Chains A and B, each alone.
Chain A
Amino acid sequence: MSTNYLSILLFLPVTGAIIVALVPRLSSRIIRYIAAVFTFIPLAIAIYLFAAFDRSASMAGVMQFEESFSWIPAIGADYHIGVDGLSLPLLLLTTLLGFLVVLISWKVEKKVRQYFFWLLLLETSILGVFCSLDLLLFFAFWEIEVIPMFFLISIWGSGRKEYSAIKYVLYTLFGSAFMLAGILSLYFATGSLNMVDISQGGLAIAQSVMPAVPIFFLLLIGFAVKLPVFPLHTWLPDAHTDAPTAASVMLAGALIKMGGYGMIRVCVSIFPQTAQDYAPLLLTLAAISIVYGAAVTLRQNDIKRLIAYSSISHMGFVLLGIFALGELSLTGAGLQMFSHGIVTGLLFAVTGIIIHNTGERNIKQLGGLAHQIPLIAVIFIIGGAAAMGVPSTSGFIAEFTVFLGSFSSTAVAGVHIFTFICLLGILLAAAYILWLVQRVFFGPAISRFDAIADADNIEILYCSIFVIILFVVGIYPKILFDVLQLGVAPIAAFFGG
């Protein structure tokens, strides 16, 4: 591959950010268009890469579109990027959301220049995490992301925004502190920072030579904070609730996927044996996250906070899929990450419109909105249906695959019991979504909302893109299934299918 598609894709958003920051006298309008262009081209490239991706079975676990050159020879760190079946869907998701959040932010008027600077920088850092194949590079991108998010939440957020922003930063840095210790131990034990080499050699060497268990958990803590896993989840409701809409979409849609991705790519790939030994512990945490998360969601009265809490429950499904350790369950975890990105992205986007138009976020004060803003109501209900896993939506196929996969997995004893407990999450999801829809959209119309606007053209545009993808994946899941299966096959092979 002569053209460095991945590098171009990776650095276009940050190039846009630098242009936005440094070129003087740009009007807000021009800045928006620059941001749109510099996020649309990466999306186009990602779609091209997705189409050109070699799906033949011989490519299982093989990196494609790889680029590599020496970065810091003294410690053997390389600039090494590439994608496989696991990271490609997430890359696609991130570029998609990156473009859509620019549209979502079209009406932002406050400090436009800075706003798009941080938004574009954020996209590059998330993309970097998904395509890095060098641990130092991976960690660098992982850490960069904190800064844009800090500013996005604390400047353009609402409510207790400064508290939420610093809480987010400290939680993330706390997690990555352990991760850094883990990466250093790994580097010291293997003498390499190359993720592909370590995981291939790891299958043979890792178990015996190095103290696998402590390193596994050091790394896992970093990822668990991000996913988030109970009891490390408390930053999430605050950050999601107080962030501006676009940041919430990015946060819930792409950013927390870094946690799930990291668990599969680093923890499970490099330490399969340890993962298998400690799977019951992690499955327990998954079950708690799902059930507890869903139960807390039921109790929320702030519409945005409710959706934020539902993420904890939905990410529990990802954790279940990962640590059931079957090929199907891991594929399901990947699907669930993609699907949740789309579904929750949509829900946050619509919620943003509702809050913006009505000026109200307390569910108890809302009601009967279906009379006044029918379009928004329809879109929200579609999103809600996907969140509770109604067939023909991506949510259904993702959760179904996770459950089928974890139920049939042979790698972990007693996985059936966990699966049954986690099934409760589906029930609770239906309850909180339906109840939310009922309280917000149905019932008698409230007169003070009579004059509010329904979705305008640009809002309809980005909502429809979300809805189309949600149905495409729901009806024709093979489009992602093949790719994901290639990605998880080598890991699943270790556990005998």
Chain B
Amino acid sequence: MNFELLLPEIILAVSAVLIILLDLLVGRRIISLSISLAGLAIAFGFTLSMWGDVSQPVFNGLFALDNYALFFKLLFLFIAAMVMLASVDYSARFSRFQAEYHALLLLATLGMMLRAAAADLIAVFISLELVAISCYVLVAMLKNKSSTESALKFVLLGGIVSAVLLYGMSLVFGFSGETRLAEISSIIQSIPAQSLLDNPGLLLGMVLIIAAFGFKIAAVPFQMWAPDVYQGAPTPVTLFLSVGSKAAGFAVILRVFFSAFNLPEVLSSDWGTIFAVLSAFGMLLGNILAIQQGNIKRMLAYSSIAHSGYIMIGVAAIGLSSTASLEIHSNLLFYISAFALADLAAFSAVIIISNKMDSDMIEDYAGMGRRSPLLAAALTLSLLSLIGLPSTAGFIAKFYIFTGAMDSGLLWLVIIAVIASVISAFYYLRVAKVMWLNEPTSDERLTASLLPKLALFTAVLGILVLGITPSLIIKVTETAASMLGS
């Protein structure tokens, strides 16, 4: 066993434990924060050094340490660091639980990293639970009525979903007698395509797994929990759920479905079609329901549901594609990165603003353009990126993912997607309108400490870099996708 390969994960686990232990001796926030950031940075460095090197399954097929997994690991580490930076001011609201907050974030990140590399159904399940349980506690962090209510909903529904997932996995296991994804794939391929579809066990298992994963990425119709949980949770945790947990959900969807169920084509076109339909509903419903929201966190929750729909275009395109081309995987990874940056920027701005104003209502953002022009400009830019307007990452990401969909003959889905984008412009621009047009309720300037501003600035810079010179990142996503595409 070569534990070096798990060094980044081990570092995170050690940091988390260290934070809890040190908290018993010296309960200072700065210690928790600096250990977390140092742990994330070191883990990032080690992960980066593995880039391009390993591609073999390790630990007897439990994990696959390929570029695809490394790409997501780097993304998760980056997201976790950004969330911690953005929450510096906000976390004063649960100052008693500083150590727990940071340790749990690290553990959730650890779970997501393991999930990206999981090549075995058992590893998938355990890493999912690690993230889920950490997140349940994080959501309840504020310990007020709405935060607790959200956490309770999250736990109950999450528990059901775990059961559904396990049942689906056991059906697949019952069918194939294997838990390793590669083995499942070869057993499926050894069966004639026609008799495959006569077997309800495999199909039911697949559908149950889709439902469980759909819950994790807040795909319609498994999205009911998202707005409530997003609204009640502490805003940094909302950010973490919306960006990190979602990216991890897609990492595992792509891994499981591409590694285990991609061949033969009758099977992949089955799940491809399911994802295409889920995607269409997600984009339309998410964007339409977002229009009537008065609370910006709720609005961003619906926006996040809609963006899951856009990302699923990529998954559907992979399922329905006849050629396993590189681009079709690469554009999915690019979209996830672009969405992550835009959502990071939007939520960082919301965290700064709502922390000062103690309100998440959109109408209270009135006059933000005068009270804090740079903050309002950053939030506006991130909203433009979420709409997908040019010079932002969102534009290139949408165009790129649409080319993949066209390649798989999904013109109808592309048309739904662009119409959904037009609908979305309405509510995103309404926030911009309130900030720049409406008269401020007070003239007091909004200030924030350095670290949240740093997080916001990094995300905004990322949006512009990806929007103007995307080829840099596309090279990276292409390398990451090469393990799947080739």
Which A residues form the contact surface with B (CB < 8 A)?
70-75, 114, 136, 139-141, 143-144, 146-147, 150-151, 154-155, 162, 166, 169-170, 173-174, 177-178, 180-181, 184-185, 187-188
Q: Check A170 against B426 for contact (C-beta < 8 Å).
A: yes
5 contacts between A and B (CB under 8 A): A72-B470, A151-B436, A166-B429, A170-B425, A181-B415
Q: How far is the CA of A173 from the CA of B425 in the complex (A)?
A: 8
The interface-forming segment of B54-62, B136-144, B206-214, B400-408 is B400-408
**Residue of A with least CB distance to B395:** A140
Distance A151 CA – B402 CA, assembled complex (angstroms)? 29
Contact partners of B384 in chain A: CB under 8 A: 147
Give chain A nearest CB distance to B309 CB in angstroms. Answer: 16
Evaluate contact between B414 and A181: CB separation under 8 angstroms.
yes
| Residues of the B chain whose Cβ atoms lie less than 8 Å from the Cβ of A72 | 396, 400, 470-471, 474
In the assembled complex, the Cα of A155 lies from the Cα of B414 at a distance in Å of 33
5 residue pairs, one from A and one from B, having the closest CB atoms: A140-B390, A177-B418, A188-B406, A173-B422, A74-B474
The CA-CA distance from A178 to B418 in the complex, in Å, is 8
Quote the shortest CB–CB distance from A233 to chain B (angstroms).
18
Chain B residues near A143: list those with CB within 8 A: 389-390, 395
Judge whether A74 and B437 touch: CB under 8 Å.
Answer: no
Chain B min CB distance to A439 (Å): 34
In the assembled complex, the CB of B247 is this many whole angstroms from the nearest CB of chain A, namely 21
**Dominant SS among interface residues on chain A:** helix
Partner of A177, one of B389, B396, B421, B470: B421
Q: Decide: B471 and A174 in contact? CB cutoff 8 A.
A: no
Minimal beta-carbon separation of B411 from chain A (angstroms): 7
The answer to whether the Cβ of B176 comes within 8 Å of any Cβ in the partner chain is no
Q: A157 → chain B, closest Cβ, in Å?
A: 10
Q: For the complex, is B146 an interface residue (Cβ under 8 Å from A)?
A: no
Contacts of B478 in A (CB 8 A): 74
Chain B residue at smallest Cβ distance from A117: B377
- The answer to whether B391 touches A144, judged by C-beta atoms less than 8 angstroms apart, is yes
Q: Verify if B153 is at the interface (C-beta below 8 Å from A).
A: no
Which B residues touch A74, using CB under 8 A?
Answer: 327, 330, 400, 471, 474, 478
8 Å CB interface, B409-436 against A: 411, 414-415, 418-419, 421-422, 425-426, 429, 433, 436
Q: Tell me the complex Cα distance, A184–B390, Å.
A: 16
Which residues of chain A have C-beta atoms less than 8 A from B406's C-beta? 184-185, 187-188
Chain B neighbourhood of A169, CB < 8 A: 425, 429
Residues of A within 8 A of B414 (CB): 181, 184
| Complex contacts, B399 vs chain A, CB 8 Å | 75, 136, 139, 180, 184
In the complex, which residues of chain B have a beta carbon less than 8 angstroms from the beta carbon of A174? 419, 422
B389 in complex: contacting residue of A136, A146, A154, CB < 8 Å: A146
Question: Is A185 within 8 A of B411, CB to CB?
Answer: yes
Chain A residues whose C-beta falls within 8 Å of the C-beta of B395 in the assembled complex: 140, 143
Q: In the assembled complex, which residues on chain B have CB atoms less than 8 Å from the CB atom of A70?
A: 471
- What is the bound-complex CA distance between A155 and B434, given in angstroms? 11
Q: How far is the CA of A341 from the CA of B418 in the complex (A)?
A: 31
- Give the residue of A140, A166, A181, A185 whose beta carbon is less than 8 angstroms from that of B391: A140
* Contacts A170-B422, A173-B422; A155 near B402 (Cβ below 8 A): no
In whole Å, how far is B333's beta carbon from the nearest beta carbon of chain A? 12
What is the bound-complex CA distance between A71 and B471, given in angstroms?
A: 7
Which residues of the partner chain B approach A185 to less than 8 Å between Cβ atoms? 406, 411
Q: In the docked arrangement, what's the CA distance between A92 and B478, Å?
A: 41
B478 to chain A, nearest CB (A): 7
Could you say which of A73, A141, A150, A187 contacts B390, with CB atoms under 8 Å apart? A141
Neighbouring A residues of B470 by C-beta, 8 Å: 72
Within 8 Å CB of A140, what residues of B? 390-391, 395
Residue of A nearest to B396 (CB): A72
Contacts of B469 in A (CB 8 A): 71
Chain A residues with Cβ under 8 A from B407's Cβ?
Answer: 188
- A166 contacts across to B, CB distance below 8 A: 426, 429, 433
Task: Say yes or no: B422 contacts A73, CB within 8 Å.
Answer: no
Contact B426 A144 (CB under 8 A): no
B330 to chain A, nearest CB (A): 7
A21 to chain B, nearest CB (A): 8
A71→B467 CA distance, assembly (Å)? 11
Residue from B400, B403, B437 in contact with A188 in the complex, judged by beta carbons closer than 8 Å? B403
Nearest CB of B to A169, in Å: 6
